[in-house]
Amino acid sequence: MSSVAKSRKSRSAKPLRIVALLQGEPDALSLWTLQALARCSSDLHLVQAFGGPGAGRIERFKKLSKRHGTGKTLLRAMGSLTFGRGFHRHVQQQLDSFFDVDNLRRWRETALPPSILVPGLNAEETADTLENLQPDIIVRVSGGIIRPHIFSRARMATLNIHHGMAPDIRGMASIQWGLVEERADWIGATIHVIDKGIDTGQVLWRGSPHLAPGDDFAAIMFKTHLLAAGAMEDLLGRLSTGTPLEHLYQDVSPADSVYRSNLDIMDWGKLALARGYGKHAAVTLRTAIK
């Protein structure tokens, strides 16, 4: 691009007012996303929730049992206790190293405004905060499902990075499920508009990383998130220069849309023992060859 074209683009770009929603202290993935958002706008605000999900463990277990059955819920709880906690702790340590999380934390302290603290992402205080901020775009950086009274506060849209190829695979742990079920077409990331469904909103971007034989889950997540954060930056840049949101919609109509929740103990065992947490999964070899 010539210097004249760059100058015209710079003059035509209008800073978006972006609000990033966070649950708890940001991890390496979240900090990397925040860095991408900060490059897109000088009018970035952080709304950070420190409250829990709202329901106690017993109430949550009853709710999940009603939805999935008591046996399935118990198997998922056992999987989380026997495999899940250690797995996530190990993956987080790897991602902290890959993304140089200490440097990202220092950057946040110096480059970003203080967070606006709220008790929960779906709390009325959060809705009031968003009403005062009047954001053009809200980005759900971390946390659980957000409700319509929150995501509707954005003038243009509320966006989400889903680690998985939505709407083909929706819900939690989509990339883990891709490894467990050897579905290469589920491994990747999606940027979509948040609506009332779970990962059902209009798709703006989808992409899959280049994998190599021996990549484990942490390496796959690292490569996937690099792509997704870069794509988010590009999309927001296009919106800031006046591209209508509707022009960014992708026509994605899968033959079958699958929803998955947490892995149970048998799924975790398959991922850990037979798949080596991704390292020995045949799906990574097929994707690498492609």
What's the pLDDT at 67?
66
CA proximity to 32, closest of 114, 108, 118: 108
Q: What is the pLDDT of residues 64-96, one digit of tens each?
A: 666 667 877 788 888 888 899 999 999 999 999
What CATH number should be reported for the domain holding residue 155? 3.40.50.12230
| Full residue range of the structural domain in which residue 111 is found | 15-289
Question: Who's near 169: CB < 8 A, 6+ residues apart?
Answer: 177, 178, 183, 186, 258, 260
Structural domain tally of the chain? 1
Query: Residue 3: inside a domain, yes or no?
Result: no
Query: Residue 7: inside a domain, yes or no?
Result: no
Query: Residue 216: inside a domain, yes or no?
Result: yes
Query: Residue 91: inside a domain, yes or no?
Result: yes
Mean pLDDT of 158-177: 97
Query: Residue 4: inside a domain, yes or no?
Result: no
Query: Residue 34: inside a domain, yes or no?
Result: yes
Q: What is the pLDDT of residues 147-157, one digit of tens each?
A: 999 999 999 99
Query: Residue 246: inside a domain, yes or no?
Result: yes
Beta strand 169-171 pairing with 157-162: unpaired
Q: What is the pLDDT of residues 178-208, one digit of tens each?
A: 999 999 999 999 999 999 999 999 999 999 9
Query: Residue 281: inside a domain, yes or no?
Result: yes
Task: Tell me the two tokens of residue 266.
Answer: 């048998």
54 has pLDDT over 60: no
56 has pLDDT over 90: no
Looking at per-residue pLDDT, the higher value among 49 and 2 belongs to 49
Radius of gyration of the chain (CA): 19
What's the pLDDT at 5?
42
Whole-structure pTM value: 0.90
Q: What is the pLDDT of residues 95-145, one digit of tens each?
A: 999 999 999 999 999 999 999 999 999 999 999 999 999 999 999 999 999
